[in-house]
Amino acid sequence: MKVDRLVSIIMILLDKERIGAQELADMFEVSPRTIYRDIDTINIAGIPVCSTSGVGGGFEIMQKYKIDRKVFSTADLSAILMGLSSLSNMIRGDELVNALAKVKSFIPADRAKDIELKANQICIDLSPWMGNRSIQPYLEIIKTALQESKLLSFEYVAHNGNKTTRTVEPYQLVLKSSHWYLQGYCYKRNDFRLFRLSRISNLQMETETFTPRDFPKPQLEFDDILATMQIKIKIRIHKSIMDRVLDYCPYEDFSPDGDEYYIVSFPFIENEYHYDILFSFGDKCECLEPLHIRTEMKRRIHDIATIYES
């Protein structure tokens, strides 16, 4: 992980007089370009690292500079501990344990209690309440494959139910809206794809390695696209599902309708996903308008009822 690598590089630079970019790259199994970016980050953080070119050159912390434990503020240390602790709930490994230990070594005794209090003020638990428990071991396999540049093979179920076998170069793990995804280059499609982990089965890390290629970041922001596709529909909901509906729209879009109900201006796109959202509210939700969506809801309800008539 990057935080662990940065802390480790600082420790190495404090211990060695000088070390080359390629040696650091080999040590952490990353590219020299990544090491140069890390050094820039360390410099920005206030630790002066200078470089010397030529034979015997490399990186070193500026002579006579002594790292001050106070270089990290209480807020800095609290934020780092909070992030590492939250990540360790889902992705376990020696590197996270080591990073936590190293960060804690920077905490002065007189600030330990205050920093621990602030680090515990926000708890981020990424593990699921229930559901697909295979994701945790899959995260470990993917993390190892990312570090060792090894191919992954698995079976993948598309949204329409079709199952295919894939071989993928892994490049990035993505957590988006409580769901984990794998960004990788798919040999079946000859292109980069984003795979949802809950749709993956029989995940295997192959012995074959690959040479990493430049990869585009996945498209994760859809605000502009949604703005052109979304409409607002009017639904009437029972107060018992208010907390669920609040996941999709703000409280300002709710208007009381008697003591038990609310009228809600609800964001909607005319596709299967959004119809399924409405149906997930069950008999606690009624679509009032527009008429054509209300009519489509009635048609789908009739089709469901027909299944149970036989």
Q: What percent of the chain has pLDDT over 70?
A: 74
Lowest average pLDDT, out of 30-39, 73-82, 190-199, 268-277, goes to: 73-82
- Tell whether the model's pLDDT for residue 27 goes beyond 50: yes
Confidence band, pLDDT 50/70/90 cuts, at residue 190: very high
More confident residue, 286 or 143: 286
**E strand segments, 187-239:** 191-196, 200-209, 231-238
Q: Is the peptide bond before 216 cis (omega within 30 degrees of 0)?
A: no
- Tell whether the model's pLDDT for residue 1 goes beyond 50: no
Residue holding tokens 């295997």?
204
What stretch(es) of the chain map to CATH 1.10.10.10?
Answer: 2-67
Token duo for residue 214: 């430049």
Which residues have a Cβ under 8 Å from the Cβ of 138 and sit 6 or more positions away? 180, 197, 200, 203
Contact of 282 with 238, CB cutoff 8 Å: no
Q: Which residue from 127, 42, 121 is spatially nearest to 79, judged by alpha carbons? A: 121
| CA-atom Rg of the chain in angstroms | 26
Contact of 96 with 88, CB cutoff 8 Å: yes
> For the domain with range 135-209, which CATH number is right: 2.30.30, 3.30.300, 2.40.160, 2.60.40?
2.30.30
Token duo for residue 257: 């309708």
- Which amino acid makes up residue 153? S
According to CATH, the topology of domain 2-67 is: Arc Repressor Mutant, subunit A (1.10.10)
Handedness of CA 35, 41, 46, 50 (dihedral sign): positive
pTM of the model: 0.55
Q: Where does residue 181 rank: exposed (0-12), middle (13-18), buried (19+ CB within 10 A)?
A: buried
Q: What is the spatial distance between Cα 268 and Cα 226, in angstroms, rounded to a whole number? A: 10
Lowest average pLDDT, out of 123-132, 197-206, 207-216, 232-241, goes to: 123-132
Average pLDDT over residues 129-158: 84
- Which amino acid makes up residue 19? I
Average pLDDT over residues 171-182: 83
What stretch(es) of the chain map to CATH 2.30.30?
Answer: 135-209
Token duo for residue 181: 């995804």
- Tell whether the model's pLDDT for residue 172 goes beyond 70: yes
